[in-house]
Chains A and B, each alone.
Chain A
Amino acid sequence: MSEQQELEQLVQRDYKYGFVTDIEQEIIPPGLNEDVVRLISAKKNEPEFLLEWRLKAFRHWQTMAEPQWAHVHYPPIDYQALSYYAAPKSKEEIDANRPKSLDDVDPKLLEMYEKLGIPLHERAALAGVAVDAVFDSVSVTTTFREKLAEVGVIFCSFSEAVHSHPELIQKYLGTVVPAGDNYYAALNSAVFSDGSFVFIPKGVRCPMELSTYFRINAMNTGQFERTLIVAEEGAHVSYLEGCTAPQRDENQLHAAVVELVTLDDATIKYSTVQNWYPGDEEGRGGIYNFVTKRGDARGHRSKITWTQVEAGSAITWKYPSCILRGDDSVGEFYSVAVSNHFQQVDSGTKMIHLGKRTRSTIVSKSISAGRSQNSYRGLVHIAKSADDARNYTQCDALLIGDRNGAHTFPYIEVKNASAQIEHEATTSKISDDQIFYLKSRGISEENATNMIVNGFCKDVFNELPMEFAVEAQALLAVSLEGSVG
């Protein structure tokens, strides 16, 4: 039984980001109606077009029904019991919510980011990463702005971009994920509070990796951030996103929207390490992560890569997608989804091929342990116009323990005879033979399992930027090592 004990011991990892930062916050009372939408907009001093857009989204949202098709179960969410805006108060409440510089930011907040290990201050310089940190609803600070500005890259909070670059926002906002796209996207469009905006002008290769850190801190709040990344002709950017939340007994809602636009020859690489609080061993608490992420490869020869490591959240409902509109455009999706305890994951991707000679690759690895349910749900759609399109899909699931589930729901729709589609999926546990082989070479069971799991995920980890690859491997090790008997 030592294996069993080892398993339990290791599976019962603590959530190390589960602290609450005690900062005075400005929260508007729970509830959602047009006044709340107007209030959020007013608080951010938004131009008229954005308020109109929000209201339109809100009215549409009211006519929509919550999607029921995902392979997840949760009690109905009372959208009126949530607060839709929470902002940390800066020492002197100058300049609405935005601190003028790092010095204005509440030290407690900086301390918290320190705890999280975000390279925010000087550490940022070492890591060479520009960070935009979103704390509950407000973007707290953006580092390295001047350096980025020199080459013409705009990297700032969404609410700032609305004021400084309204023409860009108006041009691109909602063009990839329309306001009424789906239930959660519509909700987000109505009440989104902040997020990041990135604009890489024509021909520029972003000199450093950009990064956002999301954290939900306040109780009973939802976080609704919105990210918009535009890469003009020939531009190139790699963007990283990380998430954490404090440990709480109740569930918190996170409904984000991410929009990517690439014009001719542009490349966006979007990497996520998602480590929201997953709930405790009994399945209490945790984040409901209902996210709409979509990239529009608008230009010819453009490329969008989604890489994600999903370790947190009580429920994940997330399908980073690519619309391959431009000829010869490329979409890629690499994912590792780890679930433990009572976590439920319904995640995957959509590859919509519209342009000629478009190519897409999907590599999805899921690892389920405890009593979790882990589903891959994906769509590959080859439109009539997509001559010589190519797709390769590989979905592998690893099961650890006999009380969990691993599922695959791939939709493949092909309307063009020149398409070539391959899909394969496997589900299995770590075989006794593999463990035995490694053990017979003097490797402990724990290390053997680690090796096998890491090998299983290698295809995806190879796609992650360096800093994240290290973090992801560590995260996986904490989550699962030795949990196979």
Chain B
Amino acid sequence: MSRIAEKRAELPAWIADALPATAAAPNDIQSAAREQITQWGLPSLRDEEWRWTNLRNLSRQTLVPSAGSAVAEVPHPISAVLTDALVIEFVDGQLKTLPADLPTGLTLTSLEHASPEQRAAAFAPAATTPNDALLALNTASAQQGVVIEVAANTVLTRPIVLQWQDGVVPESFSQTRVSIQLGAHAQATVIESVLGMNQNLCWRNTVSVVTQAANSQLHHLSLGLDGDHHLLTDRTFVTLARDARYHSLNLQLAGQLIRREIDVNITDTGAHCDLFGLMMPRGKQVLDTHTRIIHNAPHTTSNEHYRTIADEAGRGIFKGRILVAQDAQKIAAFQDSRNLLLSDQAEIDTKPELEIYADDVKCSHGATIGRLDPEALYYLQSRGISFAKARGLLIVGFAQEIIDEAPLPALVDWLTKQVTRRLGGTTVAE
């Protein structure tokens, strides 16, 4: 039979040249990943998971690996909102400060000083296909990062904030790895906040590995609120043990290209995950989230709500997969993707997937794409509210349901302001 071997584009030289001989990953894992990335190159539109997200712009650049010289420029705005937060600062992917006076039960270790066991846990997920090329690249190169460990029965009241300042040095790129380990019955809130600095072009490829023991609870927020030119590729792996709960809020407003992938593996009964997301691409932004929830055990549940508001020439991409393994009975999984398209230059691509191998399940998904309801706009205007304001009200209302999922009231207020401020700049179309 005529099977033509697929030709893949080579890994750009500036990435290949930056591949270190050894990195933080255990040596055998690192060298295997190095081999994979060299063979695969960057993902292309021909790879199913990347058919809507083009990395061509990235591969055409020549970025330099970030060195340790950059220093933090501004205090992170979120520090003013969450005054008791434990702030971990990264600048261009380099760990700068770890907070002092940690509450009991919390251990923070920089990846450089991590023990072999900690490293093995942090680098556990393995790449299998060219779709995972960026994971392989990260495994092959990441040297910077942090290991967050919350001991069993510890309830952390202070949120942990990972503050990423990217692009302090223009045209740089970095690879980071975060490991979050929760012991049994532990509870924590981890907020990752990304700032693209000084409108500089830069790229950070990061991987987070979350492991939750029985009955633990994690609120995991990813906030991209500032900066127009940075690129971020971020993959998060979550493993849930019995009765563990994972709650994710993914709020992306900024960046030139943001690609988030969230893989949740539910391994035991009673576990639950909530994935909430809001993306607001405009300008020429590409904001992309791919989620995969795997129900590997019976009596597990998941709930996913993603919304996109695309304006100007922005592009929103959502792909969500729910997979129910064989014999994982009594599953309830719900997913919806609701999208607002505000301009004819904007584009929304969505693909809610169900892959079900068990029969006693209730799984459903819904997707809608549309514009603002003209009747709702008219109603508001007939009450004396200006068009622009009415439009803003409807959009914020649409976004609010997701923002309300933030764990702290102060954070909800602050995020609402960020979204409203963001809308102030949008042009009134139509």
Identify the A interface with B (CB < 8 A).
61-66, 69, 76-80, 384, 397, 399-429
In the complex, how many residues of chain B place their beta carbon closer than 8 angstroms to a beta carbon of chain A? 42
Determine the distance from Cα of A428 to Cα of B361 in the docked complex, in whole angstroms: 5
A413 to B347, CA, bound (A): 7
Q: Which among A63, A407, A420, A427 has the highest number of chain B CB atoms within 10 Å?
A: A427
Q: How far is the CA of A416 from the CA of B369 in the complex (A)?
A: 10
Pick the contact of B364: A66, A76, A427, A429 (CB < 8 A).
A427
Extra A-B contacts (13), CB below 8 Å, given A399-B361, A408-B354, A419-B370: A77-B1, A404-B359, A405-B356, A411-B349, A412-B348, A417-B341, A420-B371, A423-B365, A424-B366, A425-B352, A426-B362, A427-B364, A429-B360
B6 touches A65 (CB 8 A): yes
With the chains together, A42 CA to B173 CA distance in Å?
63
In the complex the two chains form, what is the Cα distance from A62 to B4 in whole Å?
9
Cβ A412 vs Cβ B349 within 8 A: yes
Chain A residues near B369 (CB-CB < 8 A): 412, 414, 419-421
Query: In the bound complex, do residue A408 and residue B365 qualify as a contact, i.e. CB atoms below 8 Å apart?
Result: yes
CB <8 Å contact, A411 and B368: no
Binding site for A on B (CB under 8 A): 1-4, 6, 48, 52, 326-327, 329, 339, 341-344, 346-371, 429
- The reply to whether B354 and A407 contact each other, CB–CB distance below 8 Å, is yes
Enumerate the 10 nearest inter-chain pairs by beta-carbon distance, A residue then B residue, closest first: A399-B359, A421-B369, A423-B367, A426-B364, A417-B341, A408-B354, A424-B366, A427-B363, A405-B357, A429-B359
Q: How far is the CA of A384 from the CA of B360 in the complex (A)?
A: 42
Distance between A369 CB and nearest chain B CB, rounded to angstroms: 9
Q: Is the CB of A64 within 8 A of B4?
A: yes
Q: Which residues of B contact A414 (CB under 8 A)?
A: 339, 341, 347-349, 369
CB pairs A–B below 8 angstroms (14 shown): A65-B6, A402-B329, A405-B357, A410-B353, A410-B367, A411-B349, A413-B347, A414-B339, A414-B347, A416-B344, A420-B368, A420-B371, A426-B362, A427-B356
Within the assembled complex, what's the spacing in Å between the Cα atoms of A400 and B356?
12
A403 and B326 within 8 A (CB): yes
Is the beta-carbon distance between B352 and A410 smaller than 8 angstroms? Answer: yes
CA gap between A413 and B339 in the complex, in Å = 11
Residue of A at shortest CB range from B344?
A: A417
A69, B48: Cβ atoms closer than 8 Å: yes
Contacts of B329 in A (CB 8 A): 402
Chain B residue numbers with a CB within 8 Å of A422 are: 366-368
Least CB distance, A343 to chain B, in whole angstroms: 15
Please report the C-alpha to C-alpha distance between residue A77 and residue B1 in the assembled complex, in whole angstroms.
Answer: 7
A-chain residues with CB within 8 Å of residue B353 when the two chains form the complex: 407-410
Question: Which of these, A66, A78, A405, contacts B355 with CB under 8 Å?
Answer: A405
For B2, what are the chain A residues with a Cβ–Cβ distance below 8 Å? 61-65, 79
Alpha-carbon gap, A419 to B344, bound state (A): 10
Q: Are A411 and B366 in contact, with the CB atoms below 8 A?
A: no
Is A419 a contact partner of B341 (Cβ separation < 8 A)?
Answer: yes
Contact A407-B3, Cβ < 8 Å, known A414-B341, A426-B363, A427-B364: no
In the assembled complex, the Cα of A32 lies from the Cα of B369 at a distance in Å of: 47
A403 to B356, CA, bound (A): 10
Residues of A within 8 A of B349 (CB): 411-414
Closest beta carbon of chain A to B318's beta carbon, Å = 9
